[in-house]
């Protein structure tokens, strides 16, 4: 099984939980479906033969499509961009609507690499406003990394959609992985995409979609913060508590152990028992 990694940094990524998440996956599934793709860490780790990836973040979707279809062009543009704090803020202030789609994709990867904590956050005008990170961001993804990502993404249909629309396309034999932004009493642990991307009402919408996924013959897996709202919303399904590490306020020196839950309609793997 693959050990590939996403070329994006992402606040809330389930990279540390992949060994536990991938136990639910097997090659017998028809497709991999992920309606809150973010950096798609689990998708890259398992490299399915067919996939549907979706997100409400149109800039993210455009970037993944550009890397999938034109990795060399994105890489060339990306590595021509100057680095450093001043360059970062100058590039951040560019009007992305005036750039080509390939230049926007390179800019997205650049800002994602050098921004604080891998956050994607916008102001009320929809403008990316995450500050520069002075250290611990790593290097820009190389041509080799982007070409490998393009190969893995070649199996995927990538769309901009609300999760409801993506879940309507689920078919028998699909494996559906859902990792929505965490909304605990309407207070997000990771404030991604702006102030109103996922609240407790959306959690209820997500929970109400699970019976349809189950009845059509697909398998689902949801990862979520351990909280009373989630336990109530997902009551009746298999729930497993897992320990992970979370960064408080985004600072690595304040990392703490946290409990999250994995919710599924399939029997818990023996490895968890």
pLDDT in tens, the chain (273 residues): 567 899 999 988 888 899 999 999 999 999 999 999 999 999 999 999 999 999 999 999 999 999 999 999 999 999 999 999 999 999 999 999 999 999 999 999 999 999 999 999 888 888 999 999 989 999 999 999 999 999 999 999 999 999 999 999 999 999 999 999 886 554 444 445 454 567 778 899 999 999 999 999 999 999 999 999 999 999 999 999 998 876 544 444 545 678 999 999 997 655 554
What pLDDT shows up at residue 186?
44
Are 159 and 152 contacting, i.e. CB atoms less than 8 angstroms apart?
A: no
pTM, rounded to two decimals: 0.90
> How many Cβ atoms sit within 10 Å of the Cβ of residue 203?
23
> What are the strands, taking DSSP E only, across 35-144?
51-55
Domains 15-58+153-272 and 67-147 belong to one CATH topology: no
Structure tokens that stand for 39 in this block: 């950096």
Domain range list for the chain: 15-58+153-272, 67-147
CATH of the structural domain 15-58+153-272, one choice from 3.40.50.150, 3.40.1620.10, 3.30.70.990, 1.10.10.10: 3.40.50.150
CA distance 22 to 153: 18
How many Cα atoms are found within 13 Å in the side-chain-facing hemisphere of 132?
Answer: 12
CA distance 92 to 130: 9
Give Cβ neighbours of residue 187 (< 8 Å, ≥ 6 apart). Answer: none
Are 57 and 102 contacting, i.e. CB atoms less than 8 angstroms apart?
A: no
> What are the strands, taking DSSP E only, across the chain?
31-34, 51-55, 156-160, 174-178, 183-184, 187-188, 219-225, 238-247, 255-264
CA distance 54 to 51: 10
- C-alpha R_g of the chain: 18
Are 121 and 194 contacting, i.e. CB atoms less than 8 angstroms apart?
A: yes
What superfamily would CATH give domain 67-147?
Adenine-specific Methyltransferase, Domain 2 (1.10.1020.10)
């Amino acid at each position: 099984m693959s050990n590939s990694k996403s070329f994006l940094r992402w606040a809330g990524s389930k990279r540390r939980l992949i060994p536990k998440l991938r136990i639910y996956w097997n090659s017998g599934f028809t497709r991999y479906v992920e309606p809150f793709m973010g950096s798609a860490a689990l998708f890259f780790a398992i490299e399915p033969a067919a996939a549907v990836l979706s997100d409400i973040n149109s800039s993210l979707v455009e970037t993944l499509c550009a890397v999938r279809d034109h990795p060399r062009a994105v890489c060339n543009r990306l590595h021509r961009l100057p680095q450093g704090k001043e360059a970062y803020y100058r590039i951040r202030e560019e009007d992305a609507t005036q750039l080509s789609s390939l230049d926007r994709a390179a800019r997205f990867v650049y800002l994602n690499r050098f921004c604080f904590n891998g956050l994607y956050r916008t102001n009320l005008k929809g403008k990316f406003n995450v500050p520069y990170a002075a250290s611990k961001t790593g290097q820009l993804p190389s041509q080799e990394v982007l070409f490998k990502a393009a190969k893995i993404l070649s199996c995927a249909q990538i769309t901009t959609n609300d999760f409801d629309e993506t879940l309507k396309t689920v078919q028998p034999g699909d494996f559906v992985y859902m990792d929505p932004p965490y909304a605990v009493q309407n207070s997000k642990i990771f404030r991604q995409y702006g102030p109103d991307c996922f609240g407790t009402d959306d959690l209820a919408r997500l929970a109400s979609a699970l019976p349809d996924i189950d009845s059509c013959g697909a398998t689902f897996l949801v990862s979520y913060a351990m909280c009373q709202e989630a336990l109530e919303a997902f009551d009746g399904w298999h729930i497993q508590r897992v320990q992970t590490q979370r960064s408080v306020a985004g600072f690595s020196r304040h990392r703490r152990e946290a409990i999250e839950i994995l919710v599924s309609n399939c029997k818990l793997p023996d490895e968890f028992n």
